[in-house]
Amino acid sequence: MGSIATRKRILLIGGTKRAVKTLSSIVNRSDVDYSYAIFMRGYSDEVEYADQLASIAISHGLNYQTSDKLSTDIEIMVEEMNLDAIVGIGVWRSLLPERFINSARYGFLALHGTPLPKYRGFAGIYWQIINGEDSITLRALRLATGIDDGSIVCDGNGNPVESFVDLRNELNVAELLDQYDQQHISLTNILIDLVRDDNIVFKEQDHLQATYSCHRGPEDGEVNWNDTTTNIVNFIRAQSKPLPGAYTFFKGTKVFLWGVRARPEFSNYVGRICGKVVQRDPIGGSVVILTQDSGIEIIEADLAESISRITQRPYEIFDSVRSRCTNKAEAFLFNLEVKDSSDP
């Protein structure tokens, strides 16, 4: 290990729970010099993680600041640090100025949760689950000014810095994200190793192979029961807790679906209405709903009310085999009919 004077100078940046896990893993390394850290404060439910990052920095004598965007003063300060690398340790949402990302010798090195150049853009981790990919890919890149179009980070032998989270299972998104975070920590340490050893090269992405994914919001979680069982299961688990959740409507009421499993044996329904409840289990509390090609068992669900969620067994929510799940427009019409029939 070299002397303090020759240690590589690195700035750390990012936020959210993932950054807390990553910083906790790397902060004790003495083979590099963490010159500074910038922590994203984030949304109101993420502030606790910014506070935890600050606590870790203080306890280890790491100079830092907390900010949701980079000011000109920050850019100038960082530029004067003569950094070897900027390393992303978690989420950063605001625009990163070109001057900032190019202010270190090796640039801004980050981990992207997709097999770049595939899935550039928004929500790549979740789109990979929805689309039925075999794995979530983590791949390191040097940030550029375009949408995830920077060069891929490789070791001196030209091997990409990458890892994978297997999706060929029934794990929900929380369990998958735990695995993802562990891979993120491992690869961040590898990135720091490569900077430390000057054992790093960059390979331009094949831009002709680029694909893109759009933003996903809570309103995009409506289940289409005319799809296949495999597609619907992936769609639901990609939005399970702690995310906003996939949902459907039953008798005019919005229902969030948290835990499901495929029931391929229901492919024997030759009289089939997609979204129809066909089995209710009073003991286990689950129900089975028909899809395009078989069925899905609903194990955990709750009702969406105006103020709070009401937790009930699916057996109680989906209370009839004479009814089916509907979309938002059908639910609206259902509620209008109920209102009209109740008016004097």
Q: Is the CB of residue 112 less than 8 Å from the CB of residue 148? A: yes
Q: Do domains 4-212 and 218-342 have the same CATH topology?
A: yes
Q: What is the pLDDT of residues 116-159, one digit of tens each?
A: 999 999 999 999 999 999 999 999 999 999 999 999 999 999 99
Task: Give bridge partners of residue 232 from the DSSP assignment.
Answer: none
Residue-wise pLDDT for 168-214, tens only, equals 999 999 999 999 999 999 999 999 999 999 999 999 999 999 999 99
Q: What is the pLDDT of residue 307?
A: 53
Query: 2 pLDDT band (50/70/90 cuts)?
Result: very low
Asked if pLDDT for residue 236 goes beyond 50, the answer is yes
Q: What's the whole-number mean pLDDT along residues 100-119?
A: 98
- Band the pLDDT of 26: cuts 50, 70, 90: very high
Q: What is the mean pLDDT of residues 48-74?
A: 97
Residue 336: pLDDT band (50, 70, 90) is confident
Angle between helices 16-26 and 47-59 (to 10 degrees): 10
pLDDT in tens, 84-95: 999 999 999 998
CATH number for the region 4-212 comes to 3.40.50.170
**Confidence at residue 223, expressed as pLDDT on a 0 to 100 scale:** 99
Rounded to whole angstroms, how far apart are CA atoms 184 and 179? Answer: 9
Average model confidence (pLDDT) for the chain? 95
Specify the CATH number of the domain 218-342: 3.40.50.12230
The pLDDT assigned to 30 comes to 96
Q: 320 phi and psi, to 5 degrees?
A: -155, 140
pLDDT of residue 342: 65
47 three-class SS: helix
Total Cβ atoms within 10 A of residue 216 = 17
Q: What is the dihedral of CA 235, 274, 168, 188, to 10 degrees?
A: 0
pTM of the entire predicted model: 0.93
Q: What is the pLDDT of residue 305?
A: 66
Q: What is the pLDDT of residue 39?
A: 98
Per-residue pLDDT band for 344 (boundaries 50, 70, 90) equals: low
| The pLDDT of residue 338 | 77
What band does 289 get if pLDDT is binned at 50, 70 and 90?
Answer: very high
The predicted-structure confidence for 237-269, as pLDDT tens digits, reads as follows 999 999 999 999 999 999 999 999 999 999 999
Domain boundaries, the chain: 4-212, 218-342
Closest-CA residue to 126 (of 167, 169, 183, 187): 167
